Amino acid sequence: MDLSTNIAGVQLSTCLMNASGARCVSQDELERLGGSLAGAIVTKSMTPQSRAGNPEPRYVGFEGGSINSMGLPNLGYAAYAKMIPGLRQFGKPIVASIAGFQMDDFVEIAKAINEVKPDLLEVNLSCPNIPGKPQIGYDVEASERLLNKIRNVVSIPMGVKLPPYFDPAHHEMLAGVLDRVKVSFITVINSVGNALVIDPDKESVVIKPKGGFGGLGGRIIKPVALANVRAFWKLLGDHIPIIGTGGVETGRDVFEHVLCGASAVQIGTALVEEDISVFERLERELKQWLQQRGYSSIMACRGKLKEL
Ligand code: RRO
Q: Are strands 94-98 and 120-124 parallel, antiparallel or unpaired?
A: parallel
* pLDDT tens-digit readout, 16-72: 999 999 999 999 999 999 999 999 999 999 999 999 999 999 999 999 999 999 999
* pLDDT tens-digit readout, 250-260: 999 999 999 99
Measured between alpha carbons, how far is 183 from 161 in angstroms, rounded to an integer?
11
Pocket test for ligand 1, best of 43, 70, 221 (most atoms within 8 A of CB): 70
| pLDDT band at 185; cut points 50, 70, 90 | very high
Give the pLDDT confidence score for residue 228 in this predicted structure: 98
Cβ atoms of 162 and 138 within 8 Å: the answer is: no
Measured between alpha carbons, how far is 270 from 280 in angstroms, rounded to an integer?
12
Pocket test for ligand 1, best of 97, 191, 207 (most atoms within 8 A of CB): 191
Residue closest via CA to ligand 1's atom 1 equals 72
The string over 76-94, giving b where at least 16 C-beta atoms fall within 10 Å of a residue's C-beta and e elsewhere, is ebeebbebbeebbebebbb
Residue closest via CA to ligand 1's atom 9 equals 127
* pLDDT tens-digit readout, 78-133: 999 999 999 999 999 999 999 999 999 999 999 999 999 999 999 999 999 988 88
Give the pLDDT confidence score for residue 238 in this predicted structure: 85
